[in-house]
Amino acid sequence: MQKIRCPRCGVVNLEKFVTFPQCAGCGNALPAVSRSSVPFWRRPLGAFLWVSVIGISIAGLVASTSFLTAPYDNRAQIVIYGSASRRVAPRQTVIVVMTIDAVAESELQQRSPLRNVKLRLPRSLFEELAFVSLEPHPDMSWNTKSGRYFQFNSLSREAALRLRLYALKAGEQRVRADFYADDHLPGSYAVSIAVSNKPILRRR
């Protein structure tokens, strides 16, 4: 243990003093104190260490910002081409065929099937039309307060979905379907169907 006498006031200081390496009597800096004898938490930081600490902090900030930011501006979007029975009688089946495709895709997206494709039919649709079937059969389906969802784990482009609905009563019925897929903006398809007992007039 080092014992150092203060040249200013004459007080003998031990290195275990709380005030060390300052004099316990007058607070003056004690002479001949080696850097290795000073506790690390009392040593001043060198310029290189300061630069390292600041550099690490900046790198961490940049990394966290990059993680929260989308890796690229993805403009790929689902598009739907469809056809349907435009006029049916009550208690008849309505067939809606929807072909799913995509636009503005990258080359990698074009080479891969569409992933986790979800079809949403709004709840209001089933007030006038009853669900009969959907082909191909979805991998999963569930109901929410907003509507009914059908999920396909994978679908190829230009895959045709055949939706069958049962007309419950007469009136102008609007069928709307919303589509979602991983890494793509959503798309939708809508068609109006006249449900009526009136015969269709044909031109001669």
pLDDT in tens, 122-139: 999 999 999 999 999 999
Query: Length of the chain, please?
Result: 204
Alpha-carbon distance of 83 to 190, in angstroms, equals 10
Same domain, 86 and 47: no
Q: What is the mean pLDDT of residues 75-97?
A: 92
User: What values do phi and psi take at 11, rounded to 5?
Assistant: -75, 135
Q: Which helix (H) or strand (E) holds 13?
A: strand 12-14
What CATH number corresponds to the domain at position 116?
2.60.40.680
Judged against a pLDDT cut of 90, whether residue 92 lies above it is answered with yes
Beta-sheet strands, E only, within 46-195: 77-84, 87-88, 93-103, 114-122, 129-135, 140-143, 147-155, 159-167, 171-181, 184-195
Prediction pTM value: 0.61
Q: Is residue 167 part of a domain?
A: yes
The domain of 45 spans 3-68
